[in-house]
Amino acid sequence: MLKKILGLAPRLESDGSYSPSNLALKLATQSKTDFQNIKYDKYQGSRSKILVIFTEQKNLEMQNGKLFSTGNHPVEALVPMLHLRNAGFTFEIATPTGKPAVLEMWAFPEKDDHVNEIYSDLKPRLDRPKKLEEFINLSSSDASAYAAVFVPGGHGAMLGIPEDHNVGKILRWADQQALYTITLCHGPGSLLSTTLEGKKFLYDGYEMAVFPDAVDKKTPMIGYLPGQMPYGLSKKLGGLGAKIKNTKADSTVCIDRKLITGASPQASNNLGKLAVETLLKELP
């Protein structure tokens, strides 16, 4: 009751899940992003497509059994996509089974005109995405049309995607075809899919930026999460050989070979800029 009075209690939703407390929303979300509307020299080559893998699941079970109402973080998805679109790249949007993409709408920056515009533009495709299996069967043979695979962050990126064999196939395909993989925050959970079927972790020895476990452990104190995470993502990736570059949930971005990563929502703008600068420089 005291937590509720102080605004520290996670908010119960109609499906029994919990979204962040009023205090957590004030501390951790923004009505407007730091997106920089840069005018890039647009990419003119043939490799203009980017496959974007969204989650289709909403509720992440905590260690105490409570469900966190999550999905992909809208800033972590849409701000990098704004940069990429402005640089001339186009998107193919997919979810594991073709169900609608799920976003953390409680984190949506309502007063950000740029984010609102691209969300409205993409919404029909977010509501009716491709199936990953369909992409593998129909599109993966034409790697010459693609520049990168992008997996947005948000705790929802840890729902289904790390255990999805098709995600693992796509990330290995991207690596074999020398495409870039772009992800941030909890999105690097997708990289765990490369260990399925007993395979060696594809990113052993890579430097990467990932949302810190230490921060996830503290957020239940302000009601952001309704309990402790099911596992520590940074710890799991580190145990597989990843070299985690950041210790804070900050604007850190990192590039190692064909992997581009960011630490948190605060890294969304920097990640978009780094991805564009890299693709424009490296692509034919």
- Asked if 228 and 63 count as a contact pair (C-beta separation under 8 A), the reply is yes
Per-residue confidence in pLDDT tens, the chain, 284 aa: 546 655 689 999 999 999 999 999 999 999 999 999 999 999 999 999 999 999 999 999 999 999 999 999 999 999 999 999 999 999 999 999 999 999 999 999 999 999 999 999 999 999 999 999 999 998 777 899 999 999 999 999 999 999 999 999 999 999 999 999 999 999 999 999 999 999 999 999 999 999 999 999 999 999 999 999 999 999 999 999 999 999 999 999 999 999 999 999 999 999 999 999 999 999 99
> What ranges do the domains of the chain cover?
47-282
Catalytically annotated residue among 50, 185, 225, 259: 185
Has 185 been annotated as catalytic? Answer: yes
Fold of 47-282: Rossmann fold (3.40.50)
Which residues are CB-neighbours of 23 under 8 A, at least 6 positions away?
Answer: 6, 7, 8, 222, 223
Distance between CA 146 and CA 129 in Å, rounded? 17
Tell me how crowded residue 258 is: count the other CB atoms within 10 A of its CB.
18
pTM of the model: 0.97
One-letter amino acid for residue 16 of the chain: G
